[in-house]
């Protein structure tokens, strides 16, 4: 395949982070990484990306087992250290959550290797609460913690449809660029200078496309719209997470297949980056 010419490979790793204790409403995402891996390799589909890269043949990526977190007191420290070890090997890391709180320790690890890091965040929720139910590390607070530490230069949120007064104030305070769902028809190409980390909360999708999430928030994106954003934004994709899949809420593993498809296309974009 002509597309494969010039692919810079060998540096993509997929790791599971089975942690959901910072969920504010329902548990379940700790079960997700295994199910997403199963969906990726499910024989009902094939391993070709839409840009005709055969992931089944290409050896430039690997899938690791879940991180072992169960007996750990300080889970965030452990996640941060594990991600840091992977980044030291000069890998681009795709993490499978887990609830959305895991993005905070991941980004803390990323800051060492990447100054000028941008985040593209797809979600129904801004996740900008200063605290939620007394937990400042709740999955609803992730981006407030990240922005307080000044470890990224830009946060662009897409798909938001649960903005409220407090989080609107937080977005203003931190300079977050919010593309709300109600304005999704008006977005052109999203452009970044420098490295981009993609944080994808599956509830950015409409529950009709992805029922297997804890927070059903109607009025969301289609699978095609999400794939379009992943495929079209300008910038160098250096890491990603897919979070908030809750298999206990899923129907026939449908949302698992959506997550598997998104994972496949993220790997595809990363492998193809050099030829873009
Ligand atoms: Mn969400
Ligand atoms: Mn979220």
* CB-facing half-sphere around the CA of 275: CA atoms within 13 A: 16
Per-residue pLDDT, 3: 33
CATH code given to domain 12-275: 3.40.800.10
Instruction: Collect residues with CB below 5 Å from ion ligand 1.
Output: 123-125, 201, 203
User: Residue 110: in which H helix or E strand, if any?
Assistant: helix 103-113
Number of Cβ within 10 Å of residue 79's Cβ equals: 26
Q: Counting ligands in written order, which one lies closest to the CA of residue 143?
A: 2
Per-residue pLDDT, 105: 98
CA of 147 to the centre of ligand 2 (A): 15
Per-residue pLDDT, 274: 60
Burial of 191 (0-12, 13-18, 19+ CB in 10 A): exposed
Per-residue pLDDT, 10: 67
CA of 217 to the centre of ligand 1 (A): 8
Mean pLDDT by 10 residues, the chain (276 residues): 39 96 94 97 96 90 91 88 94 96 98 94 98 96 97 97 98 98 92 97 98 98 98 96 98 97 97 66
Per-residue pLDDT, 8: 45
Burial of 100 (0-12, 13-18, 19+ CB in 10 A): buried
> Are the C-beta atoms of residues 257 and 36 closer than 8 Å to each other?
no
């Amino acid at each position: 395949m002509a597309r494969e010419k010039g692919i810079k490979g060998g540096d993509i790793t997929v790791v599971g982070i089975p942690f959901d204790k910072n969920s504010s409403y329902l548990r379940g995402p700790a079960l997700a990484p295994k199910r997403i891996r199963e969906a990726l390799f499910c024989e009902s589909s094939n391993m070709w990306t839409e840009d005709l890269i055969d992931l089944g043949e290409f050896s430039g990526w690997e899938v690791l087992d879940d991180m072992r977190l169960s007996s750990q007191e300080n889970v965030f420290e452990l996640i941060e250290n594990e991600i840091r070890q992977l980044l030291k090997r000069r890998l681009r890391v795709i993490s499978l959550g887990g609830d959305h709180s895991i993005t905070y320790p991941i980004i803390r690890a990323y800051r060492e290797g990447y100054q000028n890091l941008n985040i593209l965040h797809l979600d129904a929720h801004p996740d900008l609460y200063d605290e939620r139910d007394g937990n400042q590390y709740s999955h609803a607070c992730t981006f407030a913690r990240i922005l307080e530490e000044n470890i990224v230069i830009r946060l662009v949120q897409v798909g938001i449809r649960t903005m409220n007064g407090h989080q609107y104030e937080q977005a203003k305070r931190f300079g977050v660029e919010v593309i709300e769902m109600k304005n999704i028809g008006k977005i052109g190409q999203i452009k970044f200078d420098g490295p981009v980390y993609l944080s994808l909360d599956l509830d950015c999708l409409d529950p009709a496309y992805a029922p297997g999430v804890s927070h059903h928030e109607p009025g969301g994106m289609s699978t095609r719209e999400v794939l379009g954003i992943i495929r079209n934004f300008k910038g160098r994709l250096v890491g990603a997470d897919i979070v908030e899949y809750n298999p206990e809420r899923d129907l026939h593993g449908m949302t698992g297949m959506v997550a598997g498809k998104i994972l496949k296309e993220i790997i595809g974009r990363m492998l193809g980056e050099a030829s873009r």
